[in-house]
Amino acid sequence: MASSRRLLAQHIGARNVNEVAFMKNATHALNQVAQGLSWNKGDVILTTDKEHNSNLVPWLDLERSHGVDHRVLPSTEENTFDLEAFEATCAELGERLKMVSVGHVSNLDGVRAPSKTSHASHMTTAPLCAWMGPNRPHTCPLTSRTSVPTSSHAPFTR
């Protein structure tokens, strides 16, 4: 177990092996992130229109239970991640934006989101990396406010 934790920490760029937690699957991990944070009415969670159900349901549940505001960033006309709209939305929301949870690679069509999804110290990010593949190291800047729910089986099913 220790060597697995060390190898995974190295693969995702974690600074310490204690930053790696093994869960049942990516859905369970993402739910742990969603339920493990403190939420206030009016906090904003940002996802995209390409999210897997496991990256949608936890935020809809928080919308109902805690009064958070779940926002969905639409894709461009070319069906890609809209980095301009993302940056504008982040700037507009400011401190109200508490979570960005974006799938690293869409399970719907394989479109990849850019690594640049976190640039504010007040914001928590949860890039869902279940489909990123075994040979693609995680390239998002990891901070103390980043969670990377992933899966050990999904990359091998594509």
- Residue 122 has a pLDDT of 46
Strand partners, 103: 128
8 A C-beta contact, residue 113 and residue 102:
yes
- Residue 58 has a pLDDT of 92
The model's pTM? 0.73
Angle of the 26-36 helix axis to the 57-66 helix axis, nearest 10: 20
- Residue 12 has a pLDDT of 72
Q: Which CATH number fits domain 24-157: 3.40.640.10, 3.60.40.10, 3.40.50.280, 3.30.540.10?
A: 3.40.640.10
Domain ranges of the chain: 24-157
Strand partners, 54: none
> What is the mean pLDDT, run by run of 10 residues, along the chain of 158 residues?
84 78 81 89 93 90 96 93 91 90 78 62 48 45 50 48
